[in-house]
Amino acid sequence: MKQHCAVYQAGGPVYGVGESPEAAETNAQPWLDEDDTPIVRYARTGGQGEVEGQLSCRPCSVALASDVEANGGDVVYAICDGMLCLAAELDEPALTLDLDPDEEASFGPGNPADYGDR
């Protein structure tokens, strides 16, 4: 099975996905600022001490990678067994992002010019 990875901001969107940490980071670059903090990479077993706003890269489910590639990074996700997955993949409810429904979001694959301020 192929490994998939995601770059995301803890408590925020998924910025990129790929078949390796390097590919996910490359995919995320158009949506990251030069002055963003470094991306912290986690193995599947690590990363329980994430700080909100921290940029992280960790293994992710195929479903999450596919959803981000198709619809962008504005997804409801959770960490399950050290892996980022869609909240819908869990058996129990997950925390959701508090996004303003009237505000357009454009995260992940798409046009970085549409991104705007974070």
Using one digit for the tens of pLDDT, what is the confidence trace for 100-114?
A: 555 554 444 444 444
pLDDT computed for residue 88 by the predictor: 87
pTM of this prediction? 0.71
> Domain of 97?
4-114
The mean pLDDT value for 9-28 works out to 93
Using one digit for the tens of pLDDT, what is the confidence trace for 53-70?
A: 889 999 999 999 999 999
Number of domains in the chain: 1
Q: Give just the sign of the alpha carbon dihedral 28, 34, 36, 42.
A: positive
State how far the Cα of 9 lies from the Cα of 57, in Å rounded to an integer: 9
pLDDT computed for residue 46 by the predictor: 56
The mean pLDDT value for 19-45 works out to 84
pLDDT computed for residue 61 by the predictor: 94
